[in-house]
């Protein structure tokens, strides 16, 4: 189990480009990135007006819109609610290579929670944290808020913390872990691209999917256009990525989607230099021959099966994800 990760992370392996003898004795320090901050975060999450009614019910207020992704980042089996808020009259434009250009004032929220019993969600849940990305002066700012025991509000968390969490999963087993709430620097470690903060999951291809709104099934791109926060683009002309939990999709597409969402934010040429210099590129759009996977198949399998990667952000082995990656690699 990963304990609280401070500024210095000492582990015996770290990145996939370690020495050929796999001794993994190096020590890696996450530096103080000292990224520019263009806003001052409020002390209480409630000051942002994200939820209406009982806060822990996670009912978005009218100006926050639900975002669901085709493929998601694994975080210790936590459930996540993603919301987006844009200033009045502003919208998201489509940039080069189908990137999403968010206007200043955009707020992205991600709230992490566990159901007490996944077999019966009416038995309640525990909300642990809400992470905010706020864009101001063309710069993304990141902060984490830790929910109180009464589940009425969350406080700005500057230093990160650990909290014990347990739940009953869908198979009826009790699962427990020491869940880690990250500090700002840990968030920046993954949320950086070309030395700038950036969202990870909220990409055009990841919102090109069917959702339900008011009992109607429609494309999320279409819905966001209907509510006036996304510029015009036809979903049929937009890229897409599969849901890696959808067994009707091909093994390759599912595995590449999983790797893109769970590995590529660190392993791509524009990521944090310590991981980028390992010469892997796990992005979905990169051909398998250019990813670096084929030449390191045994090492990658060993690292993920031994829970040595990812080195940050999880404390529990994603057994289903590991099985998917191993099956895919064995078929290459």
Is the per-residue pLDDT at 248 higher than 60?
yes
Percent of the chain with pLDDT over 70: 91
Predicted confidence band of residue 8 (pLDDT cuts 50, 70, 90) = very low
Q: Comparing 68-82, 166-180, 305-319, which segment has the lowest mean pLDDT?
A: 305-319
Is the per-residue pLDDT at 139 higher than 90?
yes
Q: DSSP assignment of 256-285, as one string?
A: HHHHHHHTTTTSSTTS-HHHHTT-----TT
Is the per-residue pLDDT at 148 higher than 50?
yes
Instruction: State the pLDDT at residue 52.
Output: 97
Q: What is the mean pLDDT of residues 211-222?
A: 96
Is the per-residue pLDDT at 83 higher than 60?
yes
Closest Cα to residue 74, out of 329, 330, 309, 252? 309
- 175 strand-pairing partners: 167
Is the per-residue pLDDT at 54 higher than 90?
yes
Instruction: State the pLDDT at residue 109.
Output: 98
Domain spans of the chain, in order of start: 33-241, 246-332
Reported as a single tens digit per residue, the pLDDT across 270-279 is 877 777 677 8
Q: What is the mean pLDDT of residues 57-67?
A: 97
C-beta separation of 207 from 220 below 8 A: yes
Q: Hey, CA dihedral for 58, 64, 68, 71, is it positive or negative?
A: negative
Cα–Cα distance for residue pair 223/150, rounded to 1 Å: 34
Instruction: State the pLDDT at residue 35.
Output: 82
Q: What is the mean pLDDT of residues 18-40?
A: 63
Instruction: State the pLDDT at residue 32.
Output: 80
Instruction: State the pLDDT at residue 50.
Output: 98
Helices (H), the chain: 184-190, 204-207, 220-226, 251-262, 273-276, 288-291, 297-305, 319-330
Is the per-residue pLDDT at 60 higher than 70?
yes
Q: Describe the crossing of helices 319-330 and 297-305 by its angle, rounded to 10 degrees.
A: 170
Predicted confidence band of residue 120 (pLDDT cuts 50, 70, 90) = very high
Instruction: State the pLDDT at residue 28.
Output: 60
Predicted confidence band of residue 308 (pLDDT cuts 50, 70, 90) = confident
- 105 strand-pairing partners: none
Cα–Cα distance for residue pair 209/219, rounded to 1 Å: 5
pTM over 0.85: yes
Cα–Cα distance for residue pair 223/144, rounded to 1 Å: 28
Exposure class string for 227-246: b at 16+ Cβ within 10 A, else e: eebbeebebeeeebbbbbee
Q: Comparing 6-20, 78-92, 196-210, 247-261, which segment has the lowest mean pLDDT?
A: 6-20
Reported as a single tens digit per residue, the pLDDT across 165-209 is 999 999 999 999 999 999 888 887 788 877 778 898 899 999 999
C-beta separation of 8 from 29 below 8 A: yes
Across all residues in the chain, what is the average pLDDT? 88
Cα–Cα distance for residue pair 234/219, rounded to 1 Å: 10
């Amino acid at each position: 189990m990963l304990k609280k990760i401070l500024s210095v992370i000492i582990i015996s392996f770290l990145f996939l480009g370690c020495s050929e003898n796999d001794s993994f004795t190096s020590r890696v320090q996450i530096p103080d990135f000292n990224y520019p901050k263009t806003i001052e975060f409020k002390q209480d999450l409630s000051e942002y007006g994200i939820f209406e009614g009982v806060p822990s019910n996670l009912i978005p207020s009218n100006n926050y819109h639900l975002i669901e992704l085709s493929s998601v980042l694994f975080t210790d089996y936590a459930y996540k609610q993603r919301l987006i808020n844009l200033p009045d009259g502003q919208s998201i434009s489509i940039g080069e290579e189908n990137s999403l250009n968010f206007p200043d004032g955009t707020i992205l929220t991600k709230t992490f929670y566990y159901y007490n019993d996944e077999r019966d969600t009416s038995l309640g849940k525990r909300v642990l944290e809400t992470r905010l990305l706020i864009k101001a002066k063309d710069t993304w700012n990141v902060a984490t808020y830790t929910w109180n025991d009464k589940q009425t509000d969350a406080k700005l968390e500057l230093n990160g913390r650990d909290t014990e969490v347990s739940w009953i999963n869908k198979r009826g087993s009790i699962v427990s872990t020491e869940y880690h709430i990250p500090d700002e620097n840990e968030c920046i470690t993954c949320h950086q691209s070309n030395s700038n903060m950036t969202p990870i999951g909220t990409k055009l291809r990841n919102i090109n999917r069917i959702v339900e709104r008011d009992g109607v099934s429609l494309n999320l791109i279409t819905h966001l256009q209907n509510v006036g926060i996304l510029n015009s683009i036809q979903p049929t002309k937009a890229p897409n990525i599969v849901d890696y939990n959808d067994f009707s999709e091909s093994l390759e597409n599912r595995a590449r989607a999983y790797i893109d969402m769970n590995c590529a934010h660190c392993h791509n040429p524009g990521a944090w230099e310590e991981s980028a210099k390992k010469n892997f590129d796990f992005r979905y759009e990169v051909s398998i021959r250019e990813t670096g996977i084929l030449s390191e198949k045994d090492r990658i399998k060993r690292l993920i099966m031994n829970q040595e990667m990812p080195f940050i952000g999880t404390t529990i082995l994603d057994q289903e994800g590991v099985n998917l990656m191993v099956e895919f690699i064995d078929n290459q």
